[in-house]
Amino acid sequence: MKYLSKINRSIKQNSAETMHEIESDHQKMENLAQKIKAWGASFGFQQVSIVEPDLSQASEQLQSWLQKGFQGSMSWMAEHGDKRYIVDKLVDHTVRVISVRMDYLADTNMIAVLKDDNKAYVSRYALGRDYHKLIRKRLAALVKKIERELPELHLTQRPFVDSAPVMEKPIAQQAGLGWIGKNTLLLNESAGSWFFLGEIYTSLKLPVDNQIQENKCGKCRACITTCPTNAFPEPYVLDARRCISYLTIEHKGAIPEEFRPLMGNRVFGCDDCQIRCPWNRFASQTKEEDFTPRHNLNDALLTTLFSWNPQEFLDKTQGSPIRRIGHERWLRNLAIGLGNASGSTYILKQLNARKQHPSPLVREHVQWAIEQQEQKLKIE
Neighbouring C-alpha atoms within 13 Å toward the C-beta of 135: 24
Query: What contacts 29, CB < 8 A, 6 or more positions away?
Result: 204, 205, 206, 207
Q: Active-site residues: which are they?
A: 162
Cα separation, 310 vs 320, whole angstroms? 15
195-222 burial string, b = 16+ CB within 10 Å, else e? bbbbbbbbbbebebbeeebeeebeebeb
Residue 151 DSSP code = T
Q: How many helices, marked H, and strands, marked E, lie in the chain?
A: 15, 8
Cβ atoms of residues 239 and 65 within 8 Å: no
Task: Considering only CA atoms, give the Rg of the chain.
Answer: 25
Task: Give how far Cα 48 sits from Cα of 85, 93, 99, 314, Å.
Answer: 21, 21, 6, 35
Dihedral pair phi/psi, residue 180, rounded to 5°: -80, 120
Task: Give how far Cα 349 sits from Cα of 36, 67, 373, Å.
Answer: 57, 45, 10
* Amino acid, single-letter form, for residue 205: K
Element (H or E) spanning 52, and its range? none
Dihedral pair phi/psi, residue 239, rounded to 5°: -90, 100
